[in-house]
Amino acid sequence: MNKKINILFLTPYYSQSRGNSTTARRIEAGLSKAGCVVKVFAYDEEAWNEKVKKLIDEADILHILHFGRFLEWQQMYGEVLTKPYVVTSGGTDVNHSLQVEDVDKYKVFLRDALAVSVFSEDGKQALLRVLPELEKKIAVIPQGVYLPDGDDGEERLQLPPGSPKFLLPAGLRAVKDIFFAIRPLMKLKNEYHGLTLLIIGAKLDEDIYQRLTLLQEKLPWVHYHNEVDLSQMKQVYDWSDIVINTSLSEGQPTSLLEAMYFHKPVLARNNGGNRSLISHRENGFIFCDAEDFYHFAKLLLSSSIKEQIVQKGADYCLQHHPIEKEIAAYLEIYQKRRI
């Protein structure tokens, strides 16, 4: 580009450590490194005021994350978009927001976008099932891996002892189904007495948090840690032996990408987002039920297959999910579709 493009990135979350903020921070960092001028407005965290209106006026392009949440915000404030915009759609959009009975309220907004990006082919097909007219607008752009370096003096996290160590990075909300793993891990603990489980993520649902608190009283090997800054997640992955994902649905979980990048084996539930990253028995394992979970976890703990899985996972990330490749795809959209 001859002129630095001025982008306003609109995300539901930026400060709170969760999937949307991880995506926002990664794309912001990548675009800034590529020479763009990037400002961020977290529309579910920050106040709407004249300063933000000025940011919109100064922007060449708006890049909007999560169309379901954004439309709720837009309807609340009555803000009319006069700048060209790109929409990036994640798992909650395609798996929950985009229901057939609600499709009309999204149709015009998505149709008028310069482009709609999704993280996986599964996400694209979910959109096309209800909005087939978007075919030419949809771009599949897999997520890149991005974990910022922490400060040299960064405080070390206090993480629980035990072996083997299972890590479940997930905010406490229903779709993450964090209690699913308890039964197969209890069975596995009969053979690995030092087994420990750490669930780490934002406390988003008070009822789930209370259930988890009660469970910890009965099962002292189950631990919970509130969200940590993205720069501290390397410490968490270093601590773990196996990283798991129990979500009922996913867009494309960055936690699995990060784990694979840091040479950790992954064990994930059978859903479209997880399958977009994991080739079963090649770079990770996909489970369908509790028996699968137990069987594949035990296989990772008791056989030489772990090293092959780990290496293929790391190789896969380097080949298919470098942040530079993701950012180049967005830049191409801006260049070709700018008004």
**Quick one: pLDDT at residue 153?**
57
Report domain 165-320's class.
Answer: alpha beta
In the 8-state DSSP scheme, what is residue 288?
Answer: S
**Quick one: pLDDT at residue 1?**
45
How far is residue 92's CA from residue 299's CA, in Å, rounded to a whole number? Answer: 32
Nearest to 24 by CA among 60, 70, 56: 70
Q: Token digits for 23?
A: 């995506």
Nearest to 135 by CA among 108, 112, 107, 116: 116
Domain boundaries, the chain: 6-144+322-337, 165-320
**Quick one: pLDDT at residue 339?**
42
Residue 293: is its pLDDT beyond 50? yes
CA atoms within 13 A on the CB side of 286: 15
Residue 32: is its pLDDT beyond 70? yes
**Locate tokens 């910022």: which residue?**
148
**Quick one: pLDDT at residue 4?**
86
Q: Convert the pLDDT of each residue in 202-256 to its tens digit.
A: 999 999 999 999 999 999 999 999 999 888 999 999 999 999 999 998 888 999 9
Q: Convert the pLDDT of each residue in 49-102 to its tens digit.
A: 999 999 999 999 999 999 989 999 998 888 888 899 999 997 777 666 666 566
**Quick one: pLDDT at residue 16?**
82
When pLDDT is averaged across residues 28-38 and rounded to a whole number, the result is 96
Q: At what angle do helices 67-77 and 103-111 cross, to 10 degrees?
A: 90
Same fold, 6-144+322-337 and 165-320: yes
First to last CA, the chain: 14
Q: Convert the pLDDT of each residue in 110-167 to its tens digit.
A: 999 999 999 988 889 988 988 899 999 999 999 999 988 766 556 789 999 999 999 9
Report domain 6-144+322-337's class.
Answer: alpha beta
- DSSP calls for 99-140: -GGGHHHHHHHHHTSSEEEESSHHHHHHHHHH-GGGTTTEEE
Dihedral sign for Cα 150, 152, 155, 157, please.
positive
